[in-house]
Every structure is written in C-alpha cells, then in structure tokens.
Structure 1
Amino acid sequence: MTLPRPKRHELGFADYPFFRSLSTELCQEIYNSSRVRQYNRREQIRGMTLRNGDAVHVLLNNGIAAEELVHHEATTLRFRYQGHCLGDSEVFTDSKPPLAIAVTKTVTMAVPLDVMRGLVRKHNTLMRTVSTSMAERLRSNDRVYMMFARAPEQRLCELFIELIDKTGYPTREGTRVDGPSQNDLAQALMVSRATVENTLRSLRARQLVRTEYRAFVFPDVAALQKVASAVPPAVVAPTAGPRMTD
C-alpha cells in the first residue's frame, strides 16, 4: 500500500542511522527520488518476481523485515530493522535481489536501484554510507547468526537480545517483541524447528521468556543477556597415557 508522502520534517532523517551522516540537501534528493509504502505481515517487499523489485528500501518504522538468502538450496533468514537498508550490496554488484518479506507491518522508503547507483556515483558521502551499511550488516550476521560452536540456547538468546534491542517495547509483564515465528527463528539460526521448540521450553521453565501468539515476552532481559554471553566450558584435550618401554 502506497502511503501519502510524509513531509520531510515529519520523516525525521536524524532518527535513522542510514541518513545521519548525510547532508540535508542529499537527504532531500534521496527523498524526492523515493516512494513510501507500507507492507503488511508476510507481504513481499523485494524479489525477482516483483515489478521494480530491485529497488533499495530503507526501513522507516519500528517493524521487522526478513531477507531470505539461498546457499546451495538451503534458505536462511536475516532480520532487518528500522534504519537498515535492503539492497545495499546490489548498489555495487549485479547480484539477484534476495526475497525480502515483512515479518511485521513495515514501512519503507524505496529508491529505484538505478537512481541509487547514480546518487552513489555522484556523492562520496553516500557511497561511504552504503558501504558502512554493508559492513555493519556483515558484522551483525557474524555476531548473531554464525556462532555455530555455541549451544542452541545461547544462540537463541543472542538473537532475542538483538530483537529486543531493535524492536522491543516495555509492557507490565516485561519487554515484548512482536512478529517472528518459531519457523522464522529456526531458519535464521539454521537449526530445526524441534531445536527451537526444545530451547524455548527450557527458557520458559527458567522464566526467561513467555510465548504468546506471534510474540515473545521477556520478564528479565538482564538474565537473558547472561545466558547469551556465558562463556562455554573449555574443551580439555585428553592427556597421553604412559609411554610403554621395552
């Protein structure tokens, strides 16, 4: 659904990390080239099957989007949040745009890819901003999604901490996160749905999470953080047995 264009001062560019290092004039130029649209839950934002699906999208509201990445026929999810840029890497390459869907109601500012490429060539500050967006995304991927050596409980808590930081809001019962399903969490961490269910059962037993319809509530975020940051026990190498002599 295309929304009425907000006035520039209503948009508040300073609220979004992507725009903070850019001049007011450049922000206005990007804004004038874009369209603002709202996507409902599970609606497709980007992808090869969409007309103009190769546009670059900056997420504007407190929603969650997910990019589906395919690696050798295996599909994984990466969550994106307010101020993140969908399609930043395609500004510099001709790779196919990954599928992006709205996990919650999501509002984006969409700039046609060819327009964004032209602006990047014209403005060095925008080139640095897009490059920084890519670098921060890769660092987040490594920290949140790629810790395969850690226990599933730690990995899920780390992802929950990320979701809380980006989209959580306080309620009387604790901090609440809306949107991701158990299937989403399993795809994001590249584990089975059963692993996520068993891990959530353990966290519920310790009163670290409450599960509701399309939502998670965290009564004690500090305790959740301790689980996420716990140092795994060291693996002790077996000692050599006594040497046999003749």
Structure 2
Amino acid sequence: MPPKVDAFRTLDVLKGRQTMPEGSFLDHLPGDTWPLLVRAWGSDARVYERDEELPLGPDDRHVYIVLGGCVLQERFPLGTKITRFRGVGQLLGEAKLIEPAASVRTVCLTTTWVMPCPVQRMNVLLHQQPDAQLALLRSLEDRNRSDERIYGTVTRPPLQRVGSLLLHLADVAGTSSASQPGHTTILGPTQRDIADALSMGMSTVENAIRSLRDTHRAITSKYRQFVVTDPSALHDIVMPA
C-alpha cells in the first residue's frame, strides 16, 4: 500500500488525478501510461524525511519519481559545487539509465514521497513504451531550459533572480491551503541553499529576500519556509514590463 501521509494526496496522485507541474516527466507522460508505472512500482513508494539522502550513489540501481516534496541535488565538477532544486513529477537519477554507476547527491529538503524504479526494468518499459521515452526526453529538455532561465541568468539583478527561483519553487514544490487562498508555501530551502543554487553571496540573497518581503510584500519568510503571498507582484518583479 502507498504510504499514508497527510501532507500528500496519495490517492489522487496514484490515480493520475493530481495536476503535475508543467514540463515535468509526469506532466508529459500520457495518462494511459502512468497506471503501468503504478502497477509495477506503486507499492514500493516510500517517504524520506527531511535531510535524508536518496540512494543515488554509484552502487545504487534505481531512479526515482518525485510524487510529493522537494529535493536538493548537488554535483561537484572540477571541485566546484552545482546546486539544483527538483520537485514533484520529476524523474531523478536519469543518468543511471545510460550509465548505471552515475551518481548525484540528493537530499530531501522536506518530507518527500518518491517511487523507486529499478534501472533495468525502467529501461525495458521505456523501450516498450515510446510515448514514455518521449515524455522523459521532453521533460529533460524542459528542465534544461528552466535551469538556464533560473540558474544561468547571472547578469540579471539579484532581486529578479531570487524572485524567479521562488516562483519556480512555488510551482514545483509549493502547497496551498483553503485557509489562505492565493498563498503558496515552500518548505525546505534555506537562504544558504538559495545562495548556493544561484552562486550568490549570502548577504545578497538576504537583501533580496528582505526586499521581496518588506518592500514589495510579495512573500513572507521563516527558517526553511517561504510563502508567496502575492504571486502577481512577484511575477511583475521577475518579468518587469
């Protein structure tokens, strides 16, 4: 049985009734293919707690589909650290599908629900289901373009870069409640995580967060929690006329 976690709409997700973030693997995946994955590995879905690492090391043999929550991935090419956030609907560890020994440090930023898929069997399914293979390729291309827009635009003002990342996190990992309509809560990332992801100094990120919160009143913030309270205002900051 899938994990019974109040934070996740488990039945809606497994039945394919929950809308997935635009551009994610599960967004691109045809509706009639998702039940195949659920039948194969839905019962293996499990929850990792905040600060736990997903087993995506060189000796691990699974890829993971994020069903709920948010993770931080870190790579260390040439001695530098590259940090990226990944959210709901994404397939993680995709490099293992072509190089099983590939690895990426993947840390859960909050309680995270994932479906593990054995690499060998996933490759068989993708071969047998061309639409699923196309969905994965499209999601990876969308992710590359999103990464370029969010993490790679280093010449943009810090306020726009931080605001763009918060808008992205609201889309891929945010939650809302009936008690606060129009508000989206992002749990997990710290200001240090944001600074690492954007290759910015901590003081620069702190100033941008303070301006978004106190001057523009587009967000509120606490430790490991941001709430987008005015998405229209935040969007206007990120994409000025």
- Using the size of structure 2 for normalisation, the TM-score is 0.81
Alignment equivalent of 1:73, drawn from 74, 79, 88? 79
CA contact (8 A) 1:44 1:100 kept: yes
CA contact (8 A) 1:88 1:134 kept: no
| Number of aligned positions between the proteins | 225
CA contact (8 A) 1:46 1:97 kept: no
- Tell me how far 1:210 sits from its aligned partner: 2.0
Q: Counterpart of 1:27 in structure 2: which amino acid?
A: W
CA contact (8 A) 2:16 2:31 kept: no
**1:165-216: CA deviations, max 9, x gaps?**
2314255494322211111111111112222112222223303332213211
- Tell me how far 1:150 sits from its aligned partner: 0.2
Q: Within 5 A, what are the aligned runs for 1:130-169?
A: 130-166=136-172, 167-169=174-176
- Using the size of structure 1 for normalisation, the TM-score is 0.80
Q: Counterpart of 1:163 in structure 2: which amino acid?
A: L
Q: Counterpart of 1:22 in structure 2: which amino acid?
A: P
Q: Against the structure 1 CA distance between its residues 10 and 187, is the aligned structure 2 distance closer, same or farther, given a 3 Å change threshold?
A: closer
Aligned position for 1:203: 212
Alignment equivalent of 2:197, drawn from 176, 179, 188? 188
Q: Against the structure 1 CA distance between its residues 7 and 149, is the aligned structure 2 distance closer, same or farther, given a 3 Å change threshold?
A: closer
- Tell me how far 1:93 sits from its aligned partner: 4.2
Q: Counterpart of 1:46 in structure 2: which amino acid?
A: P
Tell me, in whole angstroms, the C-alpha distance in 2 between the residues paired with 1:111 and 1:33: 8
**Aligned Cα root-mean-square deviation (Å):** 2.7
Q: Counterpart of 2:211 in structure 1: which amino acid?
A: S
Q: Against the structure 1 CA distance between its residues 128 and 104, is the aligned structure 2 distance closer, same or farther, given a 3 Å change threshold?
A: same
Q: Counterpart of 1:58 in structure 2: which amino acid?
A: I
Secondary structure at the aligned position of 2:134 is classed as helix
Secondary structure at the aligned position of 1:45 is classed as coil
Q: Percent identity?
A: 26
Tell me, in whole angstroms, the C-alpha distance in 1 between the residues paired with 2:90 and 2:67: 8
Gaps in structure 1 of 5+ consecutive residues: 232-246
Moved more, 14-23 or 38-47: 14-23
Gaps in structure 2 of 5+ consecutive residues: none
Alignment equivalent of 2:65, drawn from 36, 58, 69? 58
- Tell me how far 1:223 sits from its aligned partner: 1.4
Q: Counterpart of 2:14 in structure 1: which amino acid?
A: L
Aligned position for 1:242: none
Tell me, in whole angstroms, the C-alpha distance in 2 between the residues paired with 1:187 and 1:41: 18
Q: Within 5 A, what are the aligned runs for 1:219-238?
A: 219-230=229-240
Q: Counterpart of 1:183 in structure 2: which amino acid?
A: R
Tell me, in whole angstroms, the C-alpha distance in 1 between the residues paired with 2:208 and 2:84: 20
Matched, 1:22 2:30: yes
CA contact (8 A) 2:56 2:63 kept: no
- Tell me how far 1:95 sits from its aligned partner: 6.2
- Tell me how far 1:41 sits from its aligned partner: 0.6
Q: Against the structure 1 CA distance between its residues 27 and 221, is the aligned structure 2 distance closer, same or farther, given a 3 Å change threshold?
A: closer
Moved more, 94-103 or 106-115: 94-103
Aligned position for 2:185: 176
Tell me, in whole angstroms, the C-alpha distance in 1 between the residues paired with 2:12 and 2:186: 29
**1:40-82: CA deviations, max 9, x gaps?**
1111013317x63x41111112x11121122321212211111
CA contact (8 A) 1:69 1:98 kept: yes
CA contact (8 A) 2:15 2:35 kept: no
CA contact (8 A) 2:57 2:101 kept: no
**1:204-242: CA deviations, max 9, x gaps?**
3303332213211233221111111126xxxxxxxxxxx
